[in-house]
Copies of this chain bind each other. A is one copy, B any other.
Amino acid sequence: MNRITLIGGGLSGSLMAVYLAKRGFEVNVYERRPDMRNNRISAGRSINLALSVRGLRALSKVGLDEEILKQAIPMYGRTMHPVEGDLAYQPYGKEDQAIYSVSRGLLNIRLLELADEYPNIHLHFEHRCIDVNLDSATAVFVDEQGTEHTVTGDRIIGTDGAFAATRGRLQVTDRFNYSQSYLEHGYKELLIPPAEQGGFRMHKESLHIWPRGHYMMIALPNPAGDFTCTLFFPFEGEESFASLQTEEQVEKFFKKRFPDAVPMMPSLLEDYFTNPTSSLVTVKCYPWVREDKLALLGDAAHAIVPFFGQGMNCAFEDCVILDECVERHGNDWGKVFAEYQELRKVNADAIADLAVQNFVEMRDSVGNEAFLKQKEVEHELCDLYPESYLSQYEMVTFTNMPYSEALSMGPVNQRILNRIIQNKIDLKDESRIKAIIAEEKAALNGR
């Protein structure tokens, strides 16, 4: 009665396995891909992620936070690269607050190693889920040899990502709400390698952005001294993946639009034509759970676009909340799953919307002077009145406040900033500032 089948051994699957094992459950994890511990080579250059407070809290529950931070690079702010002129810099939060660039591969490997230390966790790689029976909590897998395995447990947790087989099975049941919504932009990873003498070619402890209006490039530092760049770019149109077909076109475009980056990208043309162009999807669905038999978690329940750096952090928070529900309701899994869904659905929807909003901010607003000025005012406000005012970015990134609250505070903060800037109020005028903040927060609660 205590056997849990986890479908998907990625970041959230392996973390959730450890949480469940610590509570004494018998956990079987089935992963479609080969064991990435035997294939470390690819990990070094794999995409990196921005770990922040929510993810760190989740890792701290299994004692991994400090170890992972040692292999991470703190990014204390954003460095904006205009086409011409000086770099601009925006701190993300208070002086010691940072988001952390970590390698997805290294983090996943460390979580799998930890999972393997538990005798009640059984890892099965190269097992692709081809069917799920929702009533009996039975799953069918095909292994590399093509042999089918039917696995019956007491319940299934689907942690199989944005294109989850578990969700696909729910999707053909009646009254399952579902949406997949693609951006008109895709992305392509590129590389800024370490300097020839070693070391970083740009400021290391920063997330770099080349905002270009309707598109952008970003770069995150890796411990080896390189940066992983990602170009977020329209699929179609005048400046688009479709319009850059030849080496000449790519080179001309990059030299014109990213002139300071090109000299740091010796393998630009090779990377551009070798690396895939991937699409960006938001997936929402409901319900996430089926009685006490199945629950979706992480990207399987709510795939989001990467512009707030919260995909992994949100999935890890799912694990924390589900674990807390198990703590409250013990083996009453009908209650566990129902409360987990109740607590998480609204917040997953909120971070999905915030992530889409932040794309506009990153690619466009951060290249705009009035916006940068406003961000300066906001940063000072945050410093002067940390008890009264948090920026939305801080709420999402440096607190565990529900995402839905952070979403609804966005317009409140905007009104506070508008009033301060339009009326040229001295930020040090504590009584007026605090009155404005209190009034706008009260207006939100009164609505």
Contacts and interface: CB of A to CB of B under 8 A. Distances in A.
Contacts of A235: 175
Interface stretch (A26-34, A55-63, A179-187, A403-411): A179-187
For chain A, which range describes its interface: under 10, 10 to 19, 20 to 34, or 35 or more residues?
10 to 19
A273 interface: no
Secondary structure of the A side of the interface? Answer: strand
Interface of A: 174-182, 235, 279
Nearest to A163: B172
- Copies of chain A in the complex: 2
Contacts of A182: 174-177
16 contacts: A174-B182, A174-B279, A175-B182, A175-B235, A175-B279, A176-B180, A176-B182, A177-B180, A177-B181, A177-B182, A178-B178, A178-B179, A178-B180, A179-B179, A179-B180, A179-B181
Given A174-B182, A174-B279, A178-B180, 10 more contacts: A175-B235, A175-B279, A176-B180, A176-B182, A177-B180, A178-B178, A178-B179, A179-B179, A179-B180, A179-B181
A341 to B, nearest CB: 15
A181 B180 CA distance: 12
Contacts of A181: 177, 179
A174 B182 CA distance: 9
A261 B206 CA distance: 71
A177 B178 CA distance: 11
A36 to B, nearest CB: 25
